[in-house]
Amino acid sequence: MAIADVREFAHLTEADVEAVGRELDAVCADVEDSLGQADADYIRRVITVQRRLNVAARVVLLGSRVPPLWAAGTAMLAVAKILENMEVGHNVMHGQWDWMNDPEIHSSTWEWDTVCPASQWRHSHNYLHHTYTNVIGRGKDVGYEILRVRSDQPWHPYHLTQPVVNVLLMLLFEYGVSLHDLDIDGLVKAHIEDPAEFRSKIAEIGRKQARQISKDYVLFPALTGPAFLSTAAANAVANVVRNVWSYAIIFCGHFPDGAEVFAEEELDGETRGEWYLRQLLGSANFRGGRLMHVMSGSLGYQIEHHLFPDLPSNRYPEIAVRVRALCEKYDLPYTTGPFPRQFWQATRSIWRLSLPQRGLAARERRRQARGLRRREGGRMRG
């Protein structure tokens, strides 16, 4: 899909597209005007719960040589790491709570509990990903530069390995994210655009990884004395659980059926209304209870997050009501479904697209059913 197709796909006039933009701007303004103490209390409460859970897990793991204590401590630590990574770190670094003017809960000062440096993540995610959502050639999150996740992407024999690569990415997700801001394409082509910047970023990643590895696999295990090995194992399992969960949540929001991709050349002249439509059409939600959404960093509302990445995550449920009503008003798609189904669809696509041309015919049939033009050799056919 290209941006030029958005109006055709949605059966909207140019005036309709800009009206959608104005209505979504109004939603944003309404929420910003209503932010207050209750919102500040929410994020401080989540941070307090997360930190207490983390301390409790470390205390329990002092007895990690006892299997029930090992299991309990590992589970508590995994939940604490998920909370810190998803609902706290991800959203604080988006600037969702900068309006509080609290120097301890601010996008410019927060450093999260993963091997990815916060400064690099803010560039690769906040800027590149959220500006160029699902734009092939511009958005690095389209397959994380190692997976073929859309039939629009050229196939290479390397992609035959992607079912295995995908599993490795899932297990080591924080390490994959830590390399996200590097010029990987330039490295592969042996033509790095800015070698000095590349070396600087590599050094920063190395320092952050060294701190995290030392903390999880040396310092905290050493504090448990004779339980060193069992505590190190607990930390490793908690990190893997957090990685798998983060991977699943993020892939459910970007790669299930219904989440579209866009052509780079069509970004020229994109209006605010078209930008909103691209966020809406390129994202997918999943359903779940309040606890599920908190544990997922509120990214079960991925559509709302892409429309309003700077608004506090605790407001997404109420924003979703208004966004869904707007979609019904303008006959726009609102992709959502149960978490297991969304995850299966994303995984199935990755398996299928490891093979040449698989999924391309089905995609073209879906495009034609929606009244879109056929795509041949990367060009549109009327």
CB 262 within 8 A of CB 243: no
Position 5 confidence tier, pLDDT thresholds 50, 70, 90 = low
Cα-Cα-Cα-Cα torsion 271, 273, 274, 275, nearest 10 degrees, comes to 90
Instruction: For residue 83, give the nearest of 128, 38, 58, 52 by alpha carbon.
Output: 52
Overall size of the chain counted in residues: 382
| Residue 379 reports pLDDT greater than 60 | no
pLDDT, residue 258, reads: 82
Q: Cα 222 to chain center, whole Å?
A: 34
* Stated pTM of the model: 0.87
At 350-375, the pLDDT tens digits run 998 898 864 455 555 655 565 444 44
Whose structure tokens read 């944003």? 28
pLDDT, residue 183, reads: 64
Look at 122-126, 150-154, 199-203 and tell me which has the smallest mean pLDDT: 150-154
| Residue 60 reports pLDDT greater than 80 | yes
pLDDT, residue 179, reads: 86
pLDDT, residue 376, reads: 38
At 161-172, the pLDDT tens digits run 999 999 999 999
